[in-house]
Amino acid sequence: MSEKSSNVAIESPLGRHIEAGERLLSGQDAPGVYLKVVAGRSLSLVTARRNAAQSLIETLAIPRSPGTIGAVGEQAWHWYGPDTWLVNASGQPEGALLNELEERVGRFAAVVDLSHARCVLQLSGTRARSTLAKLCPLDLHAKVFNTGRCANTTMHHMAVHIANTDHAPGFELLVMRGFAVSLCETLLSAAGEFGYAVAC
């Protein structure tokens, strides 16, 4: 049984390690890549119980196709694997998402809180796609990995969940908190030739 949620906000552990700033190229007015550390994100992994996936999908109308993102109210449900979804929500007190999901889908699925186990990064800008293409084996062409797509991949030997969340383009990267600083450094190194700005 999970504890009742409190009013404690969920902070990113990266906030203590990454400083805001920018690196512009000669003659450049604006960077090609923007990296933002996202705080306040609640995350839960939902895995359907045996023979219960269809009931879960029908109850909440969540995405069933691999690599897709669907909305359930204010929540974003990312397809994470067979009968498994990564649920995202913003602006909720610590533990609130877990409690809500356990009440709604506990009879169909196991729910695990990942809010403090993952760091969320947002990569945007005109050269965001080019930066990511240096680091992972996915086909990130706009016609293939368009808005509303997600995938699990590796970047510089790190396991990363990547989602295209914006037409800008804008991508979200979820990584285990122990690798978050390394991923930030890797992204900024790859973005160096385009110029970048960092926001915390």
The helix (run of H) or strand (run of E) holding residue 163 is strand 158-166
Percent pLDDT > 90 in the chain is 74
Model pLDDT, residue 22: 86
Structure tokens at 69: 């993102």
Mean pLDDT of 18-30: 83
Question: What string of DSSP letters covers 31-89?
Answer: -SEEEEEE-SEEEEEEEEPTT-HHHHHHHHT---STTBEEEETTEEEEEEETTEEEEEE
Mean pLDDT over all residues of the chain?
90
How far apart CA 8 and CA 55 sit, in angstroms, is 33
Model pLDDT, residue 2: 44
On whether the CB atoms of residues 158 and 165 are closer than 8 A, the answer is no
Question: In the chain, what are the helix, strand and coil shares in percent, each to the nearest 5?
Answer: 25, 40, 40
Over residues 42-62, the pLDDT tens digits come to 999 999 999 999 999 988 888
pLDDT tops 50 at residue 4: no
pLDDT tops 60 at residue 181: yes
pLDDT tops 80 at residue 166: yes
Q: Cα-flanking dihedrals φ and ψ of residue 179, to 5°?
A: -110, 5
Number of H helices, E strands in the chain: 4, 12
On whether the CB atoms of residues 19 and 80 are closer than 8 A, the answer is no
Where residue 3 falls among pLDDT bands split at 50, 70, 90?
very low
- Beta-carbon contacts of residue 55 (< 8 Å; ≥ 6 apart): 108
| Domain spans in the chain, listed from the N-terminal domain onward | 13-199
Over residues 57-77, the pLDDT tens digits come to 988 888 889 999 999 999 999
89: nearest Cα among 10, 163, 169: 10
Over residues 66-115, the pLDDT tens digits come to 999 999 999 999 999 999 999 999 989 989 999 999 999 999 999 999 99
Question: Regarding the domain with residue range 13-199, which homologous superfamily does it belong to in the CATH classification?
Answer: Probable tRNA modification gtpase trme; domain 1 (3.30.1360.120)
